[in-house]
Amino acid sequence: MATETTADFHVFDTTLRDGAQREGVSYSVADKLAVARLLDEIGVGFIEGGWPGALPKDTEFFARARTELQLRHAQLVAFGATRKAGVAVAEDPQVQALLDAQTPVVCLVAKSDVRHVREALRTTLEENLAMVADTVAYLVGHGRRVFLDCEHFFDGHAADPDYGVQVLQTAFAAGAEVGVLCDTNGGMLPMGVGRVVADVRARTTGKLGIHCQDDTGCAVANTLAAVEAGVTHVQGTANGYGERAGNADTFALIGNLVTKMGLPVVPAECLPELKRVSHAIAELANIAPDDHQPFVGASAFAHKAGLHASAIKVRPQLYNHLDPEVVGNDMRILVTEMAGRASIELKGRELGVDLAGQADAIGRVVDQVKVLEADGWSFEAADASFELLLRAELPGAPQPLFELESYRTSVEHWGNGVVVSEATVKVHVDGERIISTGEGNGPVNALDNALRQALVGRYPQLAGVSLADYKVRILGWKGGTSATTRVLVDSTDGAGEWTTVGVHDNIVEASWHALVDAMTYAVRHR
């Protein structure tokens, strides 16, 4: 296996399709584009973007992706079903929507369990095979690479060990590049997965893949067992997001495949991005990162026991299963939060900030990050705020755009149900006192409008900047309605988007910090 190359082995991520089925997750189109960019940074080969034609949001995503996504490592994949029973493939609108998405790769889902064919599709086994053959051949004939997800494959294999293999053979004969064995119900264990995959491998010649749900807590282990038995295409989702108990975690899959099984499934330079990307996607999903997640969790290499700490002082490898920097993580002794100089330097390089010879500045940033993150700040998904913090510590750092005198917001609810929000800001810009009032559909929107109006005379580029998205997370309850609040603000100028963060007990003040960073970034960077 160690001779497998990145091109031979597929890492296929379905965060934007299967992962989006997690309860509580609802990505905007802008979120989906941001997640796709992040997944590309960890070197996955394929990013499944959604189901065009079935979901309007996914149709819009693929349309925008054609001009807004410039992927370096991954190919974008559209997901859909085989043609309907009794319908000509060229006349099936959902098949046509797959072509309209204009992705180089299409992933089709097909039934491979005789019970599902008869009871869910309500068609014959022969017609199901024809549906697979027709749809695969049609899409291949239109220049698409086609992967086939064989739904309920393992349950189907237990009921009839031959039919699922027939589905695979039919797909391969029609031109499918990969046949994916899906543990759709997530009920398998590694030994069973290995046994079934070995049986199928012995009876087929095409490239096999694996897709595992985590209902037994074995999705990652099941996937690795399938790799050991011969599959060379693995599917997962960021942080294991997905329906019910979730899916195999893409980050754990990559970590194990590369560091434990010796398979270079992603470019070497992408591996240290795992932690950063994991946390950034968690922020975009508005889900708290799992501190105890393997490889990328904040506590994955944290040590508390005195015995551990004593040994680690002598040799860190004695209590770490690998060097945490390999996956972009840090080892921590649990006394205070830690931020490494190396991570600051690497991030600065990524953001185009030259930190050569700036040891003192890096030290100050490390100290600030420790304090701020202990208070609830998170820069994983807020590169713009982090860049401003970093540049503020360098020699010749620019002065703030303005000096705040005060701001005020109000919300008025009229008897007819109309709610009006208004904000007034008083600022000093280049020695001039400016008072500006703005209205909005909420206090934050009103504050955004008022501040922009106050500054646009001096900084005209702000006229083209607008609020694209706004997320709130409650970090800690203090009794009653008191809690620490983190706000993430996405801003756009039409050419791109950037994210800023603010934290405070007061949600408006937290929003103010994020808005100020958003406008400062626009002026200095855009």
pLDDT of amino acid 244: 96
Helix axes 190-203, 219-229, angle to 10 degrees: 30
Name the residue with tokens 């083209």: 464
Query: Is residue 349 domain-shared with residue 206, that is, in the same domain?
Result: no
Residue 382 domain flag: no
In this structure, are 411 and 509 located in the same domain? Answer: yes
pLDDT of residue 335: 30
Spatial distance between the Cα atoms of 123 and 118, rounded to a whole number of angstroms: 5
Residue that terminates a domain, selected from 243, 258, 285: 285
496 close to 526: Cβ distance less than 8 angstroms: yes
Same domain flag for 81 and 178: yes
Whether 210 is in a domain gets the answer: yes
Is the domain of 75 the same as that of 209? yes
Position 329 scores a pLDDT of 79
**pLDDT tens-digit map of 90-99:** 999 999 999 9
* Residue 394 within any structural domain of the chain: no
Shared domain for 176 and 270, answered yes or no, is yes
- Domain CATH number, residue 490: 3.30.160.270
Q: What is the pLDDT of residue 367?
A: 84
Rounded mean pLDDT for each run of 10 residues along the chain, 526 residues in total: 59 96 92 95 96 92 94 96 95 96 97 93 94 97 97 94 96 97 96 96 95 97 97 97 96 96 94 93 89 86 51 57 83 46 70 84 85 80 87 88 94 87 95 94 92 94 89 69 80 88 92 95 86
Domain boundary among 285, 317, 346: 285
**Quick check: is 245 in a domain?**
yes
Same structural domain for residues 271 and 310?
A: no
Is position 383 within any domain? Answer: no
Say if residue 367 is in the same domain as residue 442: no
pLDDT confidence of residue 477: 57
Domain harbouring 42, CATH code: 3.20.20.70
Question: Do 426 and 406 form a contact (C-beta atoms < 8 A)?
Answer: yes
pTM attached to this predicted model: 0.67
- 306 and 280 belong to one structural domain: no
The predicted structure's pLDDT at residue 305? 44
- Among left, alpha and beta (phi > 0; psi -120 to 50; other), residue 479 is left
Q: Which structural domain, as residue segments, surrounds residue 219?
A: 10-285
Picking from 525, 434, 507, the residue whose alpha carbon sits closest to that of residue 470 is 507
Structure tokens at 254: 């990559």
Q: Are residues 18 and 68 in the same domain?
A: yes
Same domain for 278 and 316?
A: no
425 and 472 inside one domain: yes
Give yes or no: residues 348 and 424 share one domain.
no
- Count of domains observed in the chain: 3
Beta bridge partners of 212: 183
